[in-house]
A and B are shown apart, each in its own frame.
Chain A
């Protein structure tokens, strides 16, 4: 079992909280530096586990041969994609929750996930994906880009967070409707099964081509989001106060949307729709690193990566006859967490 960085009982957490108040006043339950170090270690271990575990056995390949091919052509792309996809989902979840000042926000809210799915589905439907493998992620990237641009234009450049949510919901609906139409019109049952399975999200059978296609966009998106930390902190005091603190609200909005769209769009294009990671990761972290949005950004990226990698490793080890998809697994674990979140916030809202 991997070491858990967070105290798993409330009493322990309170003890940490008291002992950490040595003038830093971070409000975090354990020291921020230690939290970041532990999260990094967990993410690194999850990456290593992803490289070491597979149906062909446990361990690093010795020498070349089949093992070398398996390591470099199958396990390495899978681990790299898991880390990139998880980081994209976790970090954009934290950035969007901070920007919208809403703990229930998640990357899918922007309509980018829906757009990427639609693009990929069109690539499958049209037969382009069958003709050459890169057509599928390229279709996804194009869909994500179009969706993000439409959402930004629909919401306008200088309005509040509500219009952004509305535009994202509208975009998701349009993309969902068109995806359903594509499944409905699919030329044969195999195509519709392929579409449905692709949409469930997975990291299996991805090659280094997928890594090369997605990584520039994901890395660019993550770098953009990391620049926004200060602005998200200031926004906690409302838009007028943030403006007064020197934050350029228009730039903040565009960069948060574009950064999330690049990262999540590219992630969805190569791995399908993987839900709940972006929603739950910031919630897991808040008690550990504190409630400042800026502290959550990098930590959420690392934790998202660790979560997706660990989920993928567990799925590989499950002795099921049919491959359980990553998106299904995150949903099965994530949905009860979401329910718990609803119950918790209901308790907090009650007098």
Chain B
């Protein structure tokens, strides 16, 4: 499905978090949103998921404003994986994943046919088959993260929005998750992930969107967006995109004096 963010502004309470954010995503694309802490990545994803209403601009899904989508319809079209990872009751991993079938009129304990196979394949792709009867509250951080990713996968929506889905995952499961995301994008889904790992963004995503202070500064293929100039401008770091055996790697060399961290250090030292 086509998802289009048109020059939106979003406020959380009185504080404006996004202003001048735009993004176009087509079916089959996998896009990374990157930027420093507080740039507005999560807010942008939450707005695309319909959780926040922009105060200016609009979010269009298939040319139709998100505000005009019925809730049930939206739940089948967009799967959103929040950054906060919580399961409040010790329900089993399988039941957590089965919650992803609620928009399809099914759910925990009521899985039949397509619903059961969606849950089984989501469990298998996140390497959770062995853990399916384990209470979610007894999982390690990385296992819980995978269970929640599996919930979003089981939703089988045409658009997948994931907020730092690989945080806390070991390298093998990170690679497996990125491969899975690539695969569902190849199947025609639109995948948008917020990431901090620039090398993975460069390796797995078709396009990278740079976000800073609530504005989308750059949008393009990894080689263009992850240039030393842009990295210096957005993160205040001296860094370079290199290739080792053909695989992209962002090497960070030094913090620049203009980096946010250095500036606040300098301000602290002056006091």
Contacts and interface: CB of A to CB of B under 8 A. Distances in A.
B148 A233 contact: no
Contacts, number: 99
A240 B79 CA distance: 11
Interface string B63-106: 00000000110111011111010111111101110011011000
Majority secondary structure, A binding face: loop
Contact of A236 (B76, B79, B87): B87
A243 B89 contact: no
B45 to A, nearest CB: 10
Contacts of B50: 243
B178 to A, nearest CB: 22
Given A233-B102, A237-B151, A240-B51, A26 B88 contact: no
A64 B74 CA distance: 63
Counting chain B residues whose Cβ lies within 8 A of the other chain, the interface size class is 35 or more
Contact of B133 (A21, A101, A238): A21
A241 B102 contact: no
A178 interface: no
B135 A244 contact: no
A27 B91 contact: yes
A184 interface: no
B189 to A, nearest CB: 15
Contacts of A230: 102, 107
Interface of A: 21, 24-27, 32, 101, 230, 233-238, 240-241, 243-248, 290-295
A64 B78 CA distance: 66
B240 interface: no
B109 interface: yes
B30 interface: no
Contacts of A247: 102
Majority secondary structure, B binding face: mixed
Given A230-B102, A234-B102, A237-B151, A244 B109 contact: no
A240 to B, nearest CB: 4
Nearest to B84: A238
B2 interface: no
A236 B148 CA distance: 12
B112 to A, nearest CB: 12
B108 interface: yes
Given A237-B151, A292-B95, A245 B102 contact: yes
Interface in B159-181: none
Contact of B92 (A27, A245, A294, A295): A27
Nearest to A103: B89
Contacts of A24: 109
A25 B74 CA distance: 29
Contact of A25 (B72, B82, B89, B95): B95
B84 A244 contact: no
A17 to B, nearest CB: 9
B92 A26 contact: yes
B72 A291 contact: no
A301 B85 CA distance: 31
A246 B74 contact: yes
B1 interface: no
B196 interface: no
Contacts of B155: 244-245
A251 B109 CA distance: 24
B71 A246 contact: yes
A246 B107 contact: no
- The residue among B74, B90, B109, B151 with the most chain A CB atoms within 10 A of its own CB is B109
A292 B151 CA distance: 15
Contacts of B92: 25-27
